[in-house]
């Protein structure tokens, strides 16, 4: 995969786990993405960066405000962007919720890098960067 293929593409990572957030940031930046990270759904929603991204990587299970509450808030604000849900919970109902909500993909932690990039490419197909 060419680094220049994703230059100009912004990914937001929202995850309460510092290690996961940092690892995703480093990995995505190494592929040419611009990456914004947030340690909570509230921090993300309180920022000025909620509408300028090309894709959102969102942890589903976070304290205080879970991923679904974040998505509801984005919808209320009229912000529509491709969402890839990440989770450490092995729950068969999550896949059904992802499909019903129209989210792009669900990835279980630890995240397989190839599946991550494939999911991002699929999410960006109908939403070109910029």
Q: Examine the pLDDT at 78 and tell me if it is beyond 50.
A: yes
pLDDT tens for 81-99 read 899 999 888 777 877 776 6
DSSP state of 28: H
Q: Smallest Cα–Cα separation from 50: which of 96, 94, 81, 24?
A: 81
- Of 40, 46, 33, 44, the closest CA to residue 6 belongs to 33
Asked if the model's pLDDT at residue 3 lies above 70, the reply is no
pLDDT band at 72 (very low <50, low <70, confident <90, very high): confident
pLDDT beyond 80 at 70: yes
Q: What was the pLDDT predicted at 127? A: 66
Report yes or no: 8 and 124 within 8 Å, Cβ to Cβ: no
The domain segmentation of the chain, as residue ranges, is 11-124
For the beta carbon of residue 1, count every other beta carbon within 10 angstroms. 10
- DSSP letter for each residue of 72-107: HHHHHTT----EEEEES---HHHHHHHHHHT-SEEE
User: In CATH terms, is domain 11-124 a member of 3.40.50.2300?
Assistant: yes
pLDDT, tens digit (0-9, with 9 covering 90-100), for 7-60: 789 999 999 999 999 999 999 999 999 999 999 999 999 998 766 899 999 999
pTM of the model: 0.88
């Amino acid at each position: 995969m060419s680094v220049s293929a994703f230059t100009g593409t912004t990914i937001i990572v929202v995850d309460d786990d510092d290690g996961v957030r940092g690892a995703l940031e480093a990995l995505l930046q190494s592929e040419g993405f611009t990456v914004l990270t947030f340690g909570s759904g509230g921090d993300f929603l309180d920022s000025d960066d909620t509408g300028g991204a090309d894709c959102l990587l969102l942890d589903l299970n976070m304290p205080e405000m879970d991923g679904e509450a974040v998505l509801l808030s984005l919808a209320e604000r009229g912000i529509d962007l491709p969402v890839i849900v990440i989770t450490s919970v092995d729950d068969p109902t999550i896949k059904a919720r992802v499909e019903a909500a129209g989210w792009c993909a669900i990835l279980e932690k630890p995240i397989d890098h190839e599946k991550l990039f494939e999911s991002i490419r699929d999410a960006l197909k109908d939403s070109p960067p910029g």
